[in-house]
A and B are shown apart, each in its own frame.
Chain A
């Protein structure tokens, strides 16, 4: 399978990455090189094979549903580009 220019634009939008028109063609070439490389996987017989869901056989760790940390609002927002009263500020979403 290969992608066309329109698909490159669609993927970029899904990935929330602005791509200039000049970058579409080179990206299309690079993505198609990778897709051509992975194409060979189509020849492998995977009938009756379970997809891997856990790298090592282990039971999922669980813990009591209790508060283990918190009260760190100052630290949580410390690296944010814009904040006010411990809230993250974003451009207006609802008109």
Chain B
């Protein structure tokens, strides 16, 4: 029999409804799995007592026939979402011990719908990273391992980042689904690295209120789960209007789950030629071609399109995102919350606090942001980058105006790499992980990563679908076709348990 924590979120929901098991039993199975998996370092904080209390409320609701949409379903929460009375660190020393007195809009929506919180998930510090190696609380280890000569290699593999804890926990059955955030690829890249599904919805679909800010014009929350359907169910609860975030769209939330089985017959899927980058791995190209074939076999029309400014998205991102980060992270000054390190005067206190509280990658990005916004450089860097952003968005608008419904690309340029393998002195090498995902954030579009196969070493590879603004439904329908054609990836043996 399948262990309760190995069910999909939809299966668990149906099992609770049919009273095959209780929310308490389901939660306990997860708590036990989380305890055994501490070697992965996916959870920064486990909240088993809170989870069981929430599960008991759910069982009572179910008994009364009052089950809410996510009743009794145990989830993990990326530690970037503020949770009332539960320490929220953003993976940083500077917020060690910070206990919010409010609940983020996204997590509030999940609890409103009956979900159960298992704990807070590890991440790259302030969501800045592509491998979960920048967390102040240690690296997250992927549950996946390379196959070498028919055996599992001992080399620890990164889960991707910044939502590395979310992706690792979902892949290792340590929660039914998890919240995540995506500023340049932080949902889709870790999902691709761990054989899970992750969607970054359209900018404005989920409220940013109560989520620790990195780059406000790029940040969006979304779910990571084991199936396309599970992501659709979760996003349906996470999304929705919120007066407290002025950029949150006043649009009704569609029935995302209903869209999953819509199919792709009659849809036009664009293949952007500029994503065929120099030096692309043969297995990535093969996976991409296969994805197009699957969609064509299911009735979609495949057309080549051009998005000419693609190659400028990543460099423009490394101006816009650090600029916004340097401004957002100015609030960590040792006065209102978090760490304080004394200095000779108030400026010395600020400088010492921030030197001790921020890690290397965060300091680097704050400094780049400070430089590109400084007097004399603002027009040359920041304004130019924002103009290029207009051009990137225009490329997509033209493709959609020509009748393209969704765009198919690889999710990442390679499979996951080993811990420490990309720790070179050149930070740009790590940044290149986001080359296929970052365009989507720059244009504010929705994008989903869905597992499509394994590489020669047995590690998962994903494909990405990019949609029209506020048309996540087409992404769910299209990703479902890929999921069915590729088959769910065989999850790794639980070597950690």
Contact = CB atoms under 8 A, between A and B. Distances in A.
Given A12-B367, A51-B389, A55-B204, A90 B349 contact: yes
A30 B380 CA distance: 20
Contacts of A82: 340
B386 A11 contact: no
B335 A41 contact: no
Given A41-B312, A58-B247, A80 B335 contact: yes
Interface size class of B (residues with CB under 8 A): 35 or more
A44 interface: yes
Contacts of B348: 18
Dominant secondary structure at the A interface: loop
Given A3-B371, A27-B364, A30-B425, A55 B444 contact: yes
B309 interface: yes
Given A31-B371, A50-B390, A80-B335, A37 B428 contact: yes
Contacts of B309: 44
Contacts, number: 167
A11 B370 contact: yes
A91 B343 contact: yes
Contacts of B387: 46, 49-52
Contact of A61 (B243, B336, B337, B393): B243
Interface in A23-65: 26-27, 29-31, 33-35, 37-42, 44, 46, 49-53, 55-56, 58, 60-61, 63
Given A52-B393, A55-B247, A14 B318 contact: no
Point out which of A18, A31, A33 has the most chain B C-beta atoms below 10 A from its C-beta: A18
B368 interface: yes
Contacts of A63: 243
A6 interface: no
Interface string B177-211: 00000000000000000000000001110000000
Interface in B243-290: 243, 246-247, 249-250
A76 B386 CA distance: 35
Nearest to B336: A80
Contact of A49 (B243, B350, B351, B391): B391
B38 interface: no
Interface string A76-90: 111111100000101
Contacts of A75: 101
A20 B365 CA distance: 17
Given A49-B390, A61-B246, A79-B338, A19 B355 contact: yes
Given A19-B355, A56-B247, A78-B99, 6 more contacts: A15-B367, A17-B358, A18-B351, A34-B368, A51-B389, A80-B335
Interface of B: 98-99, 101, 202-204, 217-218, 243, 246-247, 249-250, 309, 311-312, 314-316, 318-319, 326, 330, 333-340, 342-343, 345-352, 354-355, 358, 363-364, 366-368, 370-371, 374, 380-381, 383-391, 393, 425-428, 431, 443-444, 469
28 contacts: A8-B367, A11-B371, A15-B326, A15-B354, A15-B370, A16-B350, A16-B351, A16-B354, A17-B366, A18-B348, A18-B351, A30-B364, A30-B425, A31-B368, A37-B318, A38-B319, A40-B315, A46-B387, A49-B390, A50-B387, A50-B390, A52-B389, A52-B393, A55-B218, A55-B247, A79-B98, A81-B335, A91-B345
